[in-house]
Amino acid sequence: RDEARAEFGIPEVALCILFVAHNFRLKGVRMGMDQVRRLREVGVDAHLLVAGRGTGAAQRARARGWAAQKGISGATHLPGAVHPAIRAFAAADVFLHPSWHDAFGFVVLEAMGTGLPPLTSPWTGAAMLIDEGRAGFVVDPADTGTIYRRLRELSDPALRSRMGTEARRIAERYGEETNFA
């Protein structure tokens, strides 16, 4: 965790919210930035880590511009594609995936497997795996007020730990041996 946070420039005590996305618009990166700004306004040292290349250089440049407009450039980390992805998961506290469409969203299961509590949308197939309120949250991506409240709840380390443990327990049921044999 310490090495991963240092690599991405995320303070040790910050709440690191992870996005893994190649299509920033579809996955809700801009909305995630709004949430980080709101959390910071109430004193939560929230940082957004966006692991993914975007759909191109123009989309990454727009994302940097969005962060600047929201006044969160220093709390937004856009390293591009991260290989192996486990480095990004290691730096994070929460996994945010409010996608408007994802047939399954394998990345949600990966996050759960690393012990991160996920917050995803009902339009992500992986939402069916989440024990709502115990192993993560499923929220309509248009309901930014509820997303904010859920992220604020997840700023509590004890809650994140309990939910992350439950998320990992669920993810362990879906290993390669049982799903790709």
Residue 101 three-state SS: coil
Instruction: For residue range 57-97, list pLDDT tens digits in order.
Output: 889 899 999 999 999 999 999 999 999 999 999 999 999 99
What pLDDT sits at residue 181?
Answer: 56
User: Residue 146: CB partners within 8 Å, gap ≥ 6?
Assistant: 139, 140
What pLDDT sits at residue 53?
Answer: 87
Residue ranges of the chain with per-residue pLDDT less than 70: 179-181
**CA dist 140 to 29, 144, 147, Å?**
15, 8, 8
What pLDDT sits at residue 155?
Answer: 98
**Which residue, 27, 29, 164, 36, is CA-closest to 90?**
164
Q: Quick one: which H or E segment has residue 138? A: strand 137-138
Find residue 19's DSSP bridge partners: 50
What pLDDT sits at residue 176?
Answer: 74
What pLDDT sits at residue 175?
Answer: 79
What pLDDT sits at residue 179?
Answer: 66
Q: What is the largest CA-CA distance in the chain?
A: 48
